[in-house]
Amino acid sequence: MQLKSLATAKMTAKAAAILAAGALTLTACGGSSTPAASEGGIQLINAGKLTVCSDVPYEPFEFQKDGKTVGFDMDIAAEVAKDLKAELSVVDSSFEAIETGTALTQCDVSISSISITDTRKSVMDFSTPYLDDDLALVASSDSGIKTLDDAKGKKVGVQQATTGADYAAEKGLDAQQFEDTGLLVQALQAGTIDAALGNQSVLGYAIKDAPKFKAVEKFATGEQLGISIKKGNTAMAEKVNGTLKRLTDDGTLKKFETTWFGEVAK
């Protein structure tokens, strides 16, 4: 999913909070960083806890239900925590902080439908990919939109700092940007925008019970999602990759996909 660009215009309140927390961490103890706690040979920011940064809500990857943060990403995060024999602790971050690596001053890893790009790999490391996720244009049946060209001159929404936003700009769309996908989907359902451009997994999930909307066009961008890890933290990367291999080999990852996506993203 969300392949968000590094060149974001303005930090959101959540991003500012992450920056502030990171600054406190870096300036504690007379300028040295807070010592990490060891858990099974892995250095964790908080002893006994795997602290995960995620941009909530982003259904069905991460969202609140019955007071808990649930979703496809959260199922994977719980498995990583289990293999570390640690408790899962989720920090609600902005995607701006996640995609620039700033969130990793406060979290051990970031799991938030993060598309792997060369630009992002310059500031953080990634796990092996755990999901392929291309882009789609979703529109209502009465919008008259059947292709990307049809959407030009109409109200198209994207989530800010995402690959959907980048793709819209590349294709000459003057898209309206929303802080998160929840707001984007609400605007689509309310009819304040004519179409939405974003990752097919998320938009497909949002419209799967709404026959008025459909994915009118899909774009094979080759996006793959990965878990981001602080650059150079090879021990954590090996542990995360070990969990992903286990989930792939025993079929658990496929079960998670079926649970959260069904056939809508295929």
d(CA 61, CA 42): 26
Q: What does the alpha-carbon distance between residue 2 and residue 225 come to, in Å, rounded to a whole number?
A: 8
Q: What is the pLDDT of residue 33?
A: 47
What local confidence, expressed as pLDDT, does residue 2 receive? 54
CA angle at 22 for the pair 18 and 24, rounded to the nearest 5°: 120
Q: Which residues contact 168 (CB under 8 A, 6 or more apart)?
A: 156, 158, 175, 197
Place of tokens 């925590």: 81
Q: What angle do CA 209, 131, 222 make, to 5 degrees?
A: 100
Three-state DSSP at 212 gives coil
Looking at residue 204, its pLDDT comes to 86
Average pLDDT, consecutive stretches of 10 residues, N- to C-terminus, the chain (266 residues)? 43 47 39 57 94 93 96 98 97 94 97 94 98 94 95 95 92 94 93 95 87 93 95 97 98 94 56
Place of tokens 């419209």: 207
| Angle (deg, nearest 10), helices 181-190 and 200-207 | 40
204 HSE (CA, 13 A, CB side)? 19
Contact 161, 4 (CB under 8 A): yes
- Global pTM reads 0.73
Nearest to 138 by CA among 148, 129, 128, 123: 148
In the block, tokens 């707001």 appear at: 183
The 3-state DSSP class for residue 191 equals coil
